[in-house]
Structures are given as C-alpha cells and as structure tokens.
C-alpha cells in the first residue's frame, strides 16, 4: 500500500479510536488543561532542549553476538533477531553484574554535556525490569547476581544534580513475560499467552511501580504501541495520575497522542509546527550496547544535530548504551564531554529557544528567544564566511546589539542594512570550528522579508520541494529515509506553489522529478499559461524519474509564481521532488 495511503488510514483509525476512547479512557490531560496550564507543564521540557536516552538491559551481555555469530540489527533486539529461546536468553541475566555502575557519574556526565533530563529503559522489549518488581521475577533484583534495583540510585543522583528523570517502558512488546510477545511474534511457546492478561498482570502493575517508587518522575516514554487497543490503553492511562505534571510521548497507542511526537533517527526538515517534538537518536547504530558497533557519529554531527533540532523547535534525546559492567562506552563519553564544552559557551543559544524565523540559511541555522521588548536571534554559523561578511537574508529589523557569544566582553560587531538583508561584519577566524554563535538583539519581533528563489546566471530556475508553499489538507513536505519531496498528496484539491523572482525572460524547457505508482495527471500554471503533465509510474514512491513536461515562457522579470495542480479526474498521488526550468535550446 502506498505509504501515504497507509498513513492516512492510520490517521483515520487513530482519530476514530480517539473519538471512541473519549467514553472509556480517562485521559487526565490535555483535555482538562487550558493552553496556559499545558504551557506551564511543558515549560521545563521546552527550556531543556537536550536530554540523554539510556538503553540498558540484559542485552548488553551478549552485546550483539549469540552462539558465536554476530546478529545483525540493533543490540537490544538480539533476542528477537536471533530467535533466542526464552530459557536461553534468561541465562544472560546470570552474567549481568554491573559492578562498575556509578549512577552519580552518569548523571554528572549528562549534566556536563549540557543535558537537562534523562530517560532510561526501565523495561525494554525483552521484558526485563531494571527495578524490583512484584509483577514479574524477570527483573534485576531477582534474576541477576547484582541483585539491586538500578533505578533507585539513578533517581537519587538525578535529584541531587537537578536533572529531570524519565522512564522508558515497553508496554506492548515483551518477549519474556507470557502474552507480551503477541505484538512482535512468537518463536518460543514459553511466550504464548493472552495480551490483555499480560497488560493487566504485568504491564499495568509495573507501570504503577515505576510511577510510585522513584519520587518525582518527569517523563514516561512509551514505545512500540503494536496492538494497543483502547481497552488496553485504558488499563495504563489512568495510572498517569500518580505523577501529576508528567510528560508522555505519542507511543502509547489507542489514539492517545500524548505530549510529544517522537521522530526516530531523523530530524524533520521543517520541524513539527504546532506540536512538541523530540528526535531520539543513537550515537552509533545501536541503542543497546553492541561490542563491535564502532560507527560513531562525530562530535560535529551530534552538535550540529542539536543546533538543527533547536532551530526547528524540537528536543534532542541522544542515546547511550552502557555495557553489562555498567560503563557508558568511552566514545560516547568523549563526545558528550566535547558537546558539553561547546554548550558551556553556547548553551544560551539552545536552552529555551524557539524555531528559526528564517526558512533556510546557507551557512547554518538560527534559534530565537523573545525578550520583553526585543528579540534575540542566535545565528549558528557552521560555515564561517571567508570575506568576513555574514548575511542574515531578508532581515530588515533594527539591530540593537550584535556580538559573538564566545566573546565574554561582548565586543560589538558592525552591522549594515543592505538590499539582501542584514550584513554582520565578523572576525576572519571562526571562534569555534564546529559552530560559532553570532547574537543579534533586535528591536521587537524580527522583520524578515522572504527571500525569493531566483534564476542562476545561465537562466536555470530550480524549484525544490522544500521551498514549495503547500495549499491543502493532506499534501505536505516529507523528508528523511530518502525522502525530500511533496508527498501524502491524496486530495486532488491540494496544490503547491513556488514564488520566485524572474531575472531572465524567454522560453524554458520544464522538467519535474516525480515518483508514483500511478499515472495521475496534473497541470502547471504560470500566469495564464498552462502545461499538462502525466506522472510516470515508477513503481515505488521513493523511485524518482525526471520527466519532460514541455515549454513555458517567462514573459517578464520580477515576482512570479508557478503552481502545480492535480487534474481531479482519476487523480493518483504523486511524490514531487522538484520542478526545473532550463532555457529552451
Ligand atoms: O524497538 C525500539 C528500539 O529498540 C528503540 O528502543 C527505539 C527508541 O526509540 N524504539 C523502538 C523502535 O521505534
């Protein structure tokens, strides 16, 4: 099924089950909350912007290897991927003895990195509780030589160092407790059982335990809501009342949207306007420890991800996967310390900031902070200008102050208002090769004139999906996982438009990059000219083909707009990556 259609179906089902759930589920929030109450509840989380994810469990013992073979995939899934029988997997617990576990050091590391909260797997899909549980003996106290609850001292360390604590809990997927493997498939009859009973007798009591026994909890992080009907959700949702003010994500299921959306391993190109969101990401390729995964992201990548996410209004939940001895891998420690060094100087440009008012910046990113009568823009410069001139494109506001965040003295930088926008004169050398911050304090709200796309010197005009203005209900810009296109284009009344500044007139050959599983027709409109097009059936919504659409004439210089509109009759969705004009030969 086309992914867009599947998503629509899921959305419809979710909406439907959310409506039905009203009569059953007692969602304590956000229905009963005013927007101001919600803002107050989410306040610390929006301020924080950066948190630590910890995937830790029995899977750190095999650490990616079972029966002498390296098991492909993420480390915490080894039981499932290796189809390890329950009794055999349970033997790994006998070797789980994290004698080097130092929760205080973990929390100090998170704090040193500039993180404000952490979320640890209290129970992952292998069903192993990292806490003392009365609901199942498959827990760290009863099944390991270590014999102690690891969450308790972590909660204490968080409390001591002022770090908010969250628990991850896999509510629907449990490969050890009978009935919990329904969602992920069985491979051992020991897993057989009834999922409702599993939720009633294991998941719900355990959620009650983690919400009751560790003091103030900031976050409950659900995961993989497979087969979570509203009846099952109803067994868990009321428990949240045990922790007033708790923040939950969107992965409980049953139509419950929670407080935050959770893009995983990617950063949405245009953020998620109107929603709180948090990208969770690994530092290498696995969440749970794998002894041979050395595919570490560089500090530069991690740091720029953090900046990128903040510039789109989201949080970054960055993962570490400790070993079975209780150590956070050294490459993670090093990177976190380096990020922390940067945060010491530049943290002001991350914490409590909101999304960039610029659509795109060729040299980096921007974050924003509204003050009483002024606004601070933080220009995060990844590519330092070689000519010492940094252009904030289209910025028309009066500048009260401009300086480098790394300059403790706050030496003023010269600024100049130009046709293109505000130009800041910066020193020849970047203060930080990873990302340097230029602060602009503006009078009032930023006044930014949108910068129009324009033709290249040879007359070529490139109109990429990211720059399109989308009109309608379903069509939207999609990115990540090889996508960079307008997709989800189910409604033939939706249309897209590019505004551009024509500098060269004449006739142009027009092409478009399209992926589709049908041959829907559409129309390009430029002023009163129209051009018909038919999508190629590329067989896959991620396989794009360039199609020639014919010729259009740019008749005069200046502002213009190109529209792409479906032809309603027989419309079949297309994914549109770009439209290009090239001077006709
Ligand atoms: O299956 C899990 C995975 O192991 C990991 O915990 C991630 C983290 O977001 N969540 C699930 C996949 O979405």
Residue 53 CA: nearest ligand 1 atom is: 8
More confident site: 16 or 263:
263
Supply the DSSP symbol for 71. Answer: P
Q: What is the mean pLDDT of residues 502-506?
A: 97
Q: How far apart are CA 486 and CA 472, in angstroms?
A: 12
Contact 269, 480 (CB under 8 A): yes
74 lines ligand 1 (CB under 6 A): yes
pLDDT in tens, 344-365: 999 999 999 999 999 889 999 9
Residue 398 lies in a domain: yes
Which of 443, 470, 485 is where one domain is finished?
443
Q: How many residues does the chain have?
A: 585
Which of 297, 323, 348 is where one domain is finished?
348
Non-local CB neighbours of 65 within 8 Å, separated by 6+ positions: 71, 291, 292
The residue whose CB lies within 8 Å of the most ligand 1 atoms, and thus the one to mutate among 126, 175, 224, 225, is 224
Q: How confident is the model at residue 260 (pLDDT cuts 50, 70, 90)?
A: very high
What are the counts of helices (DSSP H) followed by strands (DSSP E) for the chain? 12, 29
Residue closest by Cα to atom 10 of ligand 1: 223
Residue 359 lies in a domain: no
- What CATH number is associated with residue 119? 3.20.20.80
280 lines ligand 1 (CB under 6 A): yes
Q: How far apart are CA 14 and CA 7, in angstroms?
A: 10
Q: How far is the CA of 76 from the centre of ligand 1 (A)?
A: 9
222 lines ligand 1 (CB under 6 A): no
Which of 412, 443, 474 is where one domain is finished?
443
Q: Are 402 and 317 found together in one domain?
A: no
Residue closest by Cα to atom 5 of ligand 1: 287
User: Burial, 485: exposed, middle or buried (Cβ in 10 Å; 0-12, 13-18, 19+)?
Assistant: buried
**Residue numbers of the domain that contains 474:** 453-583
Which helix (DSSP H) or strand (DSSP E) does residue 303 occupy? helix 299-311
Residue 251 CA: nearest ligand 1 atom is: 13
What is residue 473's predicted lDDT score, i.e. its pLDDT?
80
Res. 106: pLDDT tops 50: yes
Contact 259, 55 (CB under 8 A): no
What is residue 15's predicted lDDT score, i.e. its pLDDT?
36
132 lines ligand 1 (CB under 6 A): no
Please count the structural domains in the chain: 3
223 lines ligand 1 (CB under 6 A): yes
318 lines ligand 1 (CB under 6 A): no
Contact 232, 195 (CB under 8 A): yes
What is residue 23's predicted lDDT score, i.e. its pLDDT?
33
Q: How far is the CA of 164 from the centre of ligand 1 (A)?
A: 21
Q: How far is the CA of 509 from the centre of ligand 1 (A)?
A: 46
Residue closest by Cα to atom 6 of ligand 1: 287
Q: How far is the CA of 306 from the centre of ligand 1 (A)?
A: 20
More confident site: 9 or 163:
163
Q: How far is the CA of 286 from the centre of ligand 1 (A)?
A: 10
Res. 17: pLDDT tops 60: no
Q: Are 459 and 427 found together in one domain?
A: no
Q: Are 384 and 302 found together in one domain?
A: no
pLDDT in tens, 511-566: 999 999 999 999 999 999 999 999 999 999 999 999 999 999 999 999 999 999 99
Q: What angle do CA 505, 508, 509 make, to 5 degrees?
A: 175
Q: Are 417 and 519 found together in one domain?
A: no
State the pairing for strand pair 399-404/415-418: unpaired
Distances (CA, A) of 409 to 363, 405, 413, 431: 25, 9, 12, 14
Q: What is the mean pLDDT of residues 304-320?
A: 98
Residue 358 lies in a domain: no
The structure's pTM equals 0.87
Residue 173 CA: nearest ligand 1 atom is: 1
Residue 26 lies in a domain: no
76 lines ligand 1 (CB under 6 A): yes
552 lines ligand 1 (CB under 6 A): no
Q: How far apart are CA 571 and CA 489, in angstroms?
A: 10
Q: Are 386 and 506 found together in one domain?
A: no
Q: How confident is the model at residue 31 (pLDDT cuts 50, 70, 90)?
A: low
Res. 67: pLDDT tops 90: yes
Q: Are 459 and 437 found together in one domain?
A: no
Q: Which residues pair with 129 in a beta bridge?
A: 123, 139
Res. 22: pLDDT tops 70: no
Residue closest by Cα to atom 13 of ligand 1: 224
pLDDT in tens, 186-237: 899 999 999 999 999 999 999 999 999 999 999 999 999 999 999 999 999 9
């Amino acid at each position: 099924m086309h992914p867009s259609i599947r998503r629509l179906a899921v959305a419809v089902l979710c909406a439907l089950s959310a409506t039905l759930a009203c009569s059953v589920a007692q969602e304590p929030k956000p229905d009963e909350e005013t927007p101001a109450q919600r803002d107050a509840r989410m306040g610390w989380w929006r301020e924080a912007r950066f948190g630590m994810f910890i995937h830790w469990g029995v899977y750190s013992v095999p650490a990616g290897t079972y029966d002498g073979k390296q098991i492909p995939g993420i480390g915490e899934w080894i039981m499932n991927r290796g189809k390890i029988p329950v009794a055999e997997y349970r033997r790994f617990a006998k070797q789980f003895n994290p004698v080097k576990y130092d929760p205080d050091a973990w929390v100090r590391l998170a704090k040193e990195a500039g993180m404000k909260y952490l979320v640890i797997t209290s129970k992952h899909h292998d069903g192993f509780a990292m806490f003392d549980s009365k609901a199942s003996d498959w827990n760290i106290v009863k099944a390991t030589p270590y014999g102690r609850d690891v969450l308790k001292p972590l909660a204490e360390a968080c409390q001591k160092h002022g770090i908010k604590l969250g628990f991850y809990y896999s509510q629907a997927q449990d490969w050890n407790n009978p009935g919990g493997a329904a969602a992920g498939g069985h491979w051992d009859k020991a897993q057989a059982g009834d999922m409702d009973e599993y939720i009633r007798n294991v998941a719900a009591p355990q959620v009650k335990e983690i919400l009751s026994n560790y003091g103030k909890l900031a976050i409950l992080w659900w995961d993989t809501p497979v087969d979570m009907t509203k009846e099952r959700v109803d067994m868990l949702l009321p428990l949240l009342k045990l922790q007033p003010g708790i923040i939950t994500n969107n992965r409980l299921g049953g139509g419950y949207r929670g407080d935050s959306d959770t893009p995983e391993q990617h950063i949405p190109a245009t953020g998620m306007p109107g929603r709180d969101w948090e990208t969770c990401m690994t530092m290498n390729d696995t969440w749970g420890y794998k002894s041979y995964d050395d595919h570490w992201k560089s500090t530069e990548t991690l740091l720029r991800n953090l900046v990128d996410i903040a510039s789109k209004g989201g949080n970054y939940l960055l993962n570490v996967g400790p070993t079975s001895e209780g150590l956070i891998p050294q490459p993670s420690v090093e990177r976190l310390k380096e990020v922390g060094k940067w945060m010491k100087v530049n943290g002001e440009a991350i914490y409590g900031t909101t999304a960039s008012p610029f659509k795109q910046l060729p040299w980096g990113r921007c974050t924003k902070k509204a003050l009483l009568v002024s606004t601070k823009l933080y220009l995060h410069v990844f590519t330092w200008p070689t000519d010492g001139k940094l252009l904030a494109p289209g910025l028309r506001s009066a500048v009260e102050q401009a300086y480098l965040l790394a300059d403790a003295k706050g030496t003023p930088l010269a600024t100049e208002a130009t046709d293109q926008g505000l130009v800041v004169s910066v020193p020849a050398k970047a203060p930080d090769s990873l990302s340097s911050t230029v602060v602009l304090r503006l009078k009032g709200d930023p006044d930014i004139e949108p910068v129009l796309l324009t033709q290249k010197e040879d007359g070529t005009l490139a109109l990429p999906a990211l720059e399109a203005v989308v009109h309608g209900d379903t069509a939207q810009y999609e990115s990540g996982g090889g996508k960079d296109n307008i997709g989800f284009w189910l409604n033939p009344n939706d249309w897209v438009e590019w505004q551009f500044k024509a500098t060269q007139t004449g006739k142009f050959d027009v092409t478009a990059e399209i992926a589709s599983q049908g041959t829907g027709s559409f129309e390009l409109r430029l002023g009163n000219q129209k051009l018909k097009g038919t999508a190629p059936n590329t067989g896959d919504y991620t396989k794009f083909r360039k199609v020639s659409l014919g010729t259009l004439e740019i008749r005069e210089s200046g502002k213009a707009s190109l529209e792409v509109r479906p032809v309603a009759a027989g419309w079949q969705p297309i994914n549109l990556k770009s439209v290009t004009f090239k001077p006709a030969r």
